[in-house]
Chains A and B, each alone.
Chain A
Amino acid sequence: MDLLSNLALGFGVAFSLQNLVYCFAGVALGTLIGVLPGVGPLVTIAMLFPITFHLPAIPAIIMLAGIFYGAQYGGSTTSILVNLPGETASAVTCIDGYQMARQGRAGPALATAALASFFAGCVGTLLIALAGPTLGEWALKFGAAEYTSLMLMALVASAVMTQGDALKGLAMVVVGLLIGVVGVDVNSGMARYSFGIPELVDGVGFTVVAVGLFAVAEIVLNLESREPREVYSGRVTGLMPTARDIKDAAWPTLRGTAVGACFGILPGTGPALSSFATYMLEKKIARDPSRFGRGAIEGVAAPEAANNASAQTAFIPMLTLGIPATATMALMLAALTLQGIATGPQVMLEKPDLFWGLIASMWIGNCLLVVLNLPLVGLWVKLLTVPYRWLFPSIILFCSIGNYSVNNNPFDVYLVALIGVLGYVLVKLECEPAPLLLGYVLGPLLEENLRRAMLIARGDPTVFFTRPISAVFMIATVLIFVIMVLPAARAMRRRT
């Protein structure tokens, strides 16, 4: 069978000593940094990316994926123990996870989170292996028009699905697209928005945007607020959940996995929405909904399974279509591009070792997470007590060295500072930075496909609606926009 031989190839790649070491290093580093308070997965990946940049392509992407899971899992640890989500995806875990910790059941909460994540991760990995090739084959039929409307859908969805204001999200996408324009235009060879600076002719580096927007801006934001943080000081004892815990958590884990896997494939929705959705679902079907918010184990298992499943299936559109669904996936896509790998339907055919090796290492990464996290939980708890005043100068230093090392050029470091200021101002104005990053990564692709589509269609924009697949994406884009923006507009009119 094809699938089996492909998986065998993948495991052959992933089980090489070198790749195992990088996978392990990625998971360990990701957890180590992701567990630090106030450092989310995006910052972790942005910060560690320059290290992987100096590695060959396959180990680099395997290590990045490991960092991604590690950071994600580290985020749930902080949610449970300190009531401080690393990112929005684990915000839901805080509700019941932190209550369990306060009742002295931090151990079972952590173990449930780890096992639910592991289960969801395995299912997600299997889904990628099954759906990837099918979707990839289908995507081979895509022309420039289909890609253009698909990207448009991803961008609109990412803007509209953010917590904040949908219209500002769309404006942020446009800002990102404009940053993506900076540099040489591939069709005409003309340098755009480079202000005569030679470094800008190559465009704005992606680590520069990611680090400036997420790491630097977030640190400044953390430093200006004065809220004292409640740190969990108790010890974690008795890791293993009881038989009753396992029974209570089993079905929610399954349901969470299913919901998460569906949400992950949809562009723009991502782990955050899926974990909220499953939490609501569990609360609705529970026999006694009042237990939620008071340390219900279902409230930990379901969202953790959902966010891990969707984090996993989010790789499907990124790998097979080259279209990232979330800001984190945009980072992964940019990392692949920098490694000289063009994602899209061809990647499976041209680089099967990379594609299947990555899938196999995802599964290995998930295994390592459980192995690493449960016995070492004491160490992570200690890390939580590291004061922020030691952390942020170190993060700034690593980000500076990392960005300098990508091109061995101080200009990139200055640009990080500049984008950091922009990012801080934007977040202060309640403009979400994630759509900007997605726009920036997709910008050059969107322009290229748009130009090609128009050339083929002789400048007739109706082509986006007359080609059936493209029409579906366009209609979906309009629907997403209408459904999400209209209620908000109506609610605002009622208020004023």
Chain B
Amino acid sequence: MPDLRNNRDLIAGLLFIVLGGLAVVLARDYPFGTTMRMGPGYFPTVLGVILFLFGLYVLARGLRTGEKLKGEWGWKPLVLITLSIVLFGVLLDRAGMIPASVATLFVAAAAGREFRFKEVLILAVVMTAFSVAVFLWGLKLPYPLIGSHY
């Protein structure tokens, strides 16, 4: 039994199979129509089937060659960067531009290889001021500096 962990094409193939399969299954709710009069389900169903088949081929090739991923998965940057973006969306409406920007900058910076508190603090002050100037004053976007939107 070959080692299947981190088999590059196996994972890619599985991903395509899942996405293609999902596309076909969900498109069953949409009228298919005929080739002459295609319904809303026709195009996505055909795409889903094609993607599924590509997935099978890529998966089979992965099993045959057994090629591995290059490097490790970067869990820490992936989670922290994703979190920092989500935080911005959550905070902007509820707490205002300044808290949202500062929070995003701090969490994103924590994803880096080194985190120097003082440096990040200065970065947060400068970039927050800059984005307030560009987006709130320059482009006149209607977000509160601090406080709720509602």
Contact = CB atoms under 8 A, between A and B. Distances in A.
B89 to A, nearest CB: 3
A178 B88 contact: no
A225 B142 CA distance: 39
Given A181-B44, A429-B12, A458-B36, A167 B77 contact: no
B135 A193 contact: no
B43 A223 contact: no
Interface in A424-469: 424-426, 428-431, 447, 450-451, 454-455, 457-459, 461
A192 B114 contact: no
B82 interface: yes
Interface string A224-239: 1110000000000000
A8 interface: no
A220 B26 contact: no
A153 B40 CA distance: 24
B78 A421 contact: yes
- Chain B interface main SS type: helix
A219 B71 contact: no
Interface string B66-98: 000111111001100110111011101100000
Contacts of B101: 397, 401
B127 A404 contact: no
A496 B85 contact: no
Contacts of A461: 35
Contacts of A429: 8-9, 11-12, 15, 69
Nearest to A219: B81
Interface stretch (A98-106, A358-366, A388-396): A388-396
B16 to A, nearest CB: 5
Interface in A176-193: 177-178, 181, 185, 187-188, 190, 192-193
A224 B108 contact: no
A351 interface: no
A175 B109 contact: no
Nearest to A495: B65
Contacts of B44: 178, 181, 192-193
Interface string B23-60: 10011001100111111101110011011001101100
A416 B84 CA distance: 11
B55 A400 contact: no
A342 interface: no
Contacts of A447: 43
Contacts of A251: none
Contacts of A394: 105, 123, 127
Contacts of B82: 216, 417, 420-421
A216 B111 CA distance: 12
Interface in B92-129: 92-93, 101, 104-106, 108-109, 111-114, 119-120, 123, 127
Nearest to A226: B113
Range of interface residues on A (Cβ < 8 Å): 35 or more
Contacts of A421: 78, 82
Contact of A400 (B50, B104, B119, B139): B104
A390 B122 CA distance: 10
- Chain A interface main SS type: helix
Given A221-B74, A459-B34, A178 B47 contact: yes
B36 to A, nearest CB: 3
B40 A174 contact: no
A410 interface: yes
Given A220-B74, A405-B139, A458-B36, A171 B123 contact: no
B78 A396 contact: no
A193 B41 CA distance: 11
Nearest to A416: B85
A283 interface: no
B141 interface: yes
B54 A171 contact: yes
Given A51-B139, A192-B27, A225-B71, A389 B112 contact: yes
A61 interface: no
Contact of B104 (A390, A397, A411, A458): A397
Interface string A381-423: 0000000111011101111110011001011111011001100
A223 B15 contact: no
Contacts of B73: 224, 428
Interface core residue of A224, A398, A412 (most chain B CB under 10 Å): A224
A168 interface: yes
A250 to B, nearest CB: 42
A380 B11 CA distance: 41
A374 B115 CA distance: 36
Interface in A36-94: 51, 54
Interface of B: 8-9, 11-12, 15-16, 19-20, 23, 26-27, 30-31, 34-40, 42-44, 47-48, 50-51, 54-55, 57-58, 64-65, 69-74, 77-78, 81-82, 84-86, 88-90, 92-93, 101, 104-106, 108-109, 111-114, 119-120, 123, 127, 131, 134-135, 139, 141-142
8 nearest A-B pairs in the assembled complex, by CB-CB distance: A224-B74, A459-B36, A413-B89, A410-B89, A223-B77, A393-B108, A400-B88, A171-B54
Given A396-B105, A397-B108, A401-B88, 15 more contacts: A178-B23, A178-B48, A188-B40, A192-B27, A224-B78, A392-B111, A397-B104, A397-B105, A410-B89, A413-B86, A420-B82, A429-B8, A429-B11, A429-B15, A459-B35
18 contacts: A168-B12, A171-B16, A174-B47, A174-B54, A178-B51, A224-B72, A392-B108, A393-B84, A393-B104, A393-B112, A393-B123, A394-B105, A401-B131, A413-B89, A429-B8, A454-B36, A459-B34, A496-B64
